[in-house]
Amino acid sequence: MRAPAWIEAGQGDTALLCLHGVSSSAEVWRPLLPVLAAQGHRVLAWDMPGYGNSQPLALLDFPLLADALAQLLDAAGLARAVIVGHSLGGMIAMEFAARHPQRVTALVLACTTASSGVGQGAARAAFLAQRLGVLEQGGSMAALAGRVLPAMLGPQPPAGLLGRMRRLMAAIPPAAYRAAVEALPDFDRRAALPAFDFPVLCIAGEQDRIATPPTMRRIAERIEGARFEVMGKVGHLAPFEDEPSFAALIGEFPGARS
């Protein structure tokens, strides 16, 4: 299987590899690529397997996603990178850091969690029903986007962001979205966090009701020397609700400097 697809901008001694959430694709990062590249980085954003221009995996789970990310680094000619993960992308970033620590320069974890907290049985069934119910009832990805995305935003999102996010989510193949959602309940990398010996920046959205600031703080507290920041007046889509502030936090993060 070929390496996952990616888009990129800039050049520099430090590479940033950006990972999107379950409801978007590499395109969500496109406006941020030149901003981050202007800080002196080579900046890449992947299409997770099954999303965008990337081939799907026969079986989608977190270890295989981490290995696909290593394959992308090989294809891009990168020995190491700063891994920047939003939401599901942050979970993949933690899995990658646990499986391939020698390839991590630093981690930037935004609006994510180290454990799904779902478990098995009735809780798992309820979680999947909530996330996939529209599709199970014959609805489209566009209909699902209209239901779930508004609750992810803070009180004053930029004009046009909701519409852009809806278009990105509507373009996701339903089978790929389903596979990603079905992998979520099994994720738990809490035990791996204390072993991370590279710089880590944890960023929360003040109004995030999915990966709340206390959730992000707990990740930071498990990693020696990790930095914790809260972006004000934004929700779960914090990096895209306030792109200048998000880029500034990365620019000020010593772990992302050459």
pLDDT digits (tens, 9 = 90+) for 109-162: 999 999 998 877 888 999 898 889 999 899 999 999 999 999 999 999 999 999
Domain boundaries along the sequence of the chain: 6-256
Provide the pLDDT for residue 53. 98
Low-confidence ranges of the chain (pLDDT < 50): none
Question: In terms of CATH, what superfamily is 6-256?
Answer: Alpha/Beta hydrolase fold, catalytic domain (3.40.50.1820)
Provide the pLDDT for residue 258. 62
Which pair of tokens denotes residue 201?
């920046």
Which pair of tokens denotes residue 48?
């997770």
Rounded to two decimals, the pTM is 0.98
Provide the pLDDT for residue 123. 87
C-alpha to C-alpha distance for 65 and 141, rounded to whole angstroms: 22
Largest CA distance in the chain: 50
